[in-house]
Chains A and B, each alone.
Chain A
Amino acid sequence: EPEVTQTPSHQVTQMGQEVILRCVPISNHLYFYWYRQILGQKVEFLVSFYNNEISEKSEIFDDQFSVERPDGSNFTLKIRSTKLEDSAMYFCASSESFRNEQFFGPGTRLTVL
Chain B
Amino acid sequence: AQSVTQPDIHITVSEGASLELRCNYSYGATPYLFWYVQSPGQGLQLLLKYFSGDTLVQGIKGFEAEFKRSQSSFNLRRPSVHWSDAAEYFCAVDVGNTPLVFGKGTRLSVIA
Q: Using a CB–CB distance below 8 Å, which chain A residues touch chain B?
A: 4, 6, 33, 35, 41-45, 48, 56, 91, 93, 99, 101-107
The A-B contact count (CB < 8 A) is 46
* Contact (A42, B105) CB under 8 Å given A56-B98, A101-B49: yes
Q: Is the CB of A99 within 8 A of B42?
A: no
Contacts of B103 in A (CB 8 A): 42
Interface size of B by CB at 8 A reads 21
Contacts of A43 in B (CB 8 A): 44, 90, 92, 100, 102
Most buried by B among A48, A91, A102, A105: A102
Which residues of B56-109 have CB atoms within 8 Å of chain A's CB atoms? 90, 92, 94, 96, 98-105
Q: State whether the Cβ of B45 lies closer than 8 Å to any Cβ in chain A.
A: yes
Q: How far is the CA of A42 from the CA of B43 in the complex (A)?
A: 13
Q: How far is the CA of A103 from the CA of B46 in the complex (A)?
A: 7
Interface of B, secondary structure class, is strand
Q: Using a CB–CB distance below 8 Å, which chain B residues touch chain A?
A: 32, 34, 36, 42-46, 49, 90, 92, 94, 96, 98-105
Q: Which of A41, A104, A105 contacts B36 (CB 8 A)?
A: A104
By beta carbon, the residue of chain A nearest B51 is A99
Q: Is the CB of A91 within 8 A of B94?
A: no
Q: Which of A33, A44, A99, A104 contacts B43 (CB 8 A)?
A: A104
Q: Is the CB of B99 within 8 A of A48?
A: yes
Q: How far is the CA of A11 from the CA of B92 in the complex (A)?
A: 27
Q: How far is the CB of A90 from chain B (nearest CB, A)?
A: 11
Q: How far is the CA of A22 from the CA of B105 in the complex (A)?
A: 26
Q: How far is the CA of A104 from the CA of B44 in the complex (A)?
A: 6
Q: Is the CB of B46 within 8 A of A45?
A: no
Q: How far is the CA of A103 from the CA of B49 in the complex (A)?
A: 12
* Contact (A91, B44) CB under 8 Å given A42-B90, A45-B100: yes
